[in-house]
């Protein structure tokens, strides 16, 4: 007889937490890479957030720091998940097909461990770069925006990891999930200039909406760095990325919806494949 949802969730969450805590090399690698990469970013963009943003060169460096560190947040959360799901896939398929537990508690238990881990990773990232770069936005806003970017982007990796059977295939297909994020984030072309037939894809790209939140925090018109002549630069970067001050709530809603939707699709995909295991 299959145990209750609550018992399944407790057992799976305990197993997931224990497995994560015991995997010291993976944790060391995840946080070690985060620290090293952001030390490099901090060194390259040293003090770029403290310079006079009314000068185009200074502002471009400031925005470059925001962009590169955001992309790093995305990649740092995606890769561990993309490597993990194909590895655990055979175990899940065996246990699911024998009725040991259901899909929902399995995915929720993984999220219960992954969410605080990703939040800790975002905190470490900004503890390293915030003062080195001289970011102007409120620390907690930048951290939570990076966290949402990480967990939502990781959710796209969940779908891919559930759909393929090997790490090699997952890594080969990773550009399909990452490159569109950058294309629709507004770095290279305004969303309004993208052909209408393709414009809908922006709603599947977490990077765009997380960048909206980070830009709103870092280039807030009330900050001292966006006063005087620099105000034009701050307004320009929002305009060129199709962002207005009232879009913050929408960005949060889209990111949460993407997180839930991609996780649900991943669960359905894995359950469908597991039902044919035997």
Given a cut of 80, whether residue 191 has pLDDT beyond it is no
Grade residue 276 by pLDDT with cuts at 50, 70 and 90. Answer: low
Q: What is the 3-state secondary structure (H, E, C) of 186-216?
A: CCCCCHHHCCHHHHHHHHHCHHHHHHHHHHH
Give the pLDDT mean for 70-94. Answer: 81
What percentage of the chain has pLDDT greater than the value 90? 29
Give the pLDDT mean for 72-90. Answer: 80
Q: What is the pLDDT of residue 122?
A: 94
Greater pLDDT, 46 or 87: 46
Average pLDDT over the chain reads 85
Do residues 218 and 137 touch, judged by C-beta distance below 8 A? yes
Given a cut of 60, whether residue 268 has pLDDT beyond it is yes
Q: What is the pLDDT of residue 120?
A: 94
Given a cut of 70, whether residue 223 has pLDDT beyond it is yes
Given a cut of 70, whether residue 264 has pLDDT beyond it is yes
Give the pLDDT mean for 71-76. Answer: 88
Measure the CA dihedral 127/133/136/139, to 10°: -10
Greater pLDDT, 128 or 235: 128
Q: What is the pLDDT of residue 35?
A: 93
One-character DSSP codes across 1-59: -PPPHHHHHHHHHHHHHHHHHH-HHHHHHHHHHHHHHHHHHHHHTTTTTSS-TTSHHHH
Give the pLDDT mean for 116-133. Answer: 94
Grade residue 2 by pLDDT with cuts at 50, 70 and 90. Answer: low
Listed residue (50, 55, 74) closest to 137, CA to CA: 50
Task: Return the residue matching tokens 């003062």.
Answer: 131
Give the pLDDT mean for 100-128. Answer: 89
Q: What is the pLDDT of residue 167?
A: 75
Domain coverage including residue 112: 5-274
Give the pLDDT mean for 251-260. Answer: 92
Given a cut of 90, whether residue 238 has pLDDT beyond it is no
Number of domains making up the chain? 1
**Residue 248 corresponds to which tokens in the numbers above?**
């913050």
Question: CA end-to-end span of the chain, whole Å?
Answer: 19
Q: What is the pLDDT of residue 19?
A: 84
Lowest mean pLDDT among 95-104, 231-240, 256-265: 95-104
Lowest mean pLDDT among 137-151, 155-169, 226-240: 155-169
Grade residue 69 by pLDDT with cuts at 50, 70 and 90. Answer: very high
């Amino acid at each position: 007889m299959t145990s209750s949802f609550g018992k399944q969730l407790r057992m799976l969450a305990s197993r997931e937490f224990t497995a994560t805590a015991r995997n010291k090399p993976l944790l060391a690698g995840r946080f070690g890479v985060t620290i090293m990469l952001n030390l490099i970013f901090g060194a390259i963009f040293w003090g770029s957030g403290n310079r006079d943003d009314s000068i185009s060169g200074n502002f471009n460096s400031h925005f470059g720091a925001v962009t590169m560190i955001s992309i790093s947040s995305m990649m740092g959360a995606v890769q561990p998940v993309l490597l993990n799901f194909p590895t655990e896939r055979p175990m899940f398929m065996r246990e699911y097909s024998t009725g040991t537990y259901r899909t929902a508690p399995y995915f929720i238990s993984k999220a219960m461990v992954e969410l605080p881990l990703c939040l800790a990773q975002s905190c470490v990232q900004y503890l390293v770069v915030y003062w080195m770069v001289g970011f102007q936005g409120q620390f907690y806003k930048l951290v939570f925006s990076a966290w949402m970017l990480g967990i939502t982007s990781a959710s796209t990796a969940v779908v891919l990891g559930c759909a393929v059977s090997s790490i090699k295939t997952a890594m080969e297909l990773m550009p399909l999930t990452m490159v569109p994020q950058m294309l629709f984030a507004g770095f290279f072309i305004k969303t309004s200039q993208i052909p209408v037939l393709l414009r809908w894809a922006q709603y599947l790209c977490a990077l765009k909406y997380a960048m909206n939140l980070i830009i709103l925090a870092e280039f807030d018109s009330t900050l001292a760095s966006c006063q005087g002549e620099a105000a034009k630069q701050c307004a320009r970067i929002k305009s060129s990325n199709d962002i207005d001050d009232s879009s913050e709530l929408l960005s949060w809603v889209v990111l949460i919806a993407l997180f839930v939707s991609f996780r649900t699709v991943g669960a359905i995909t894995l359950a469908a494949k597991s039902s044919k295991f035997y």
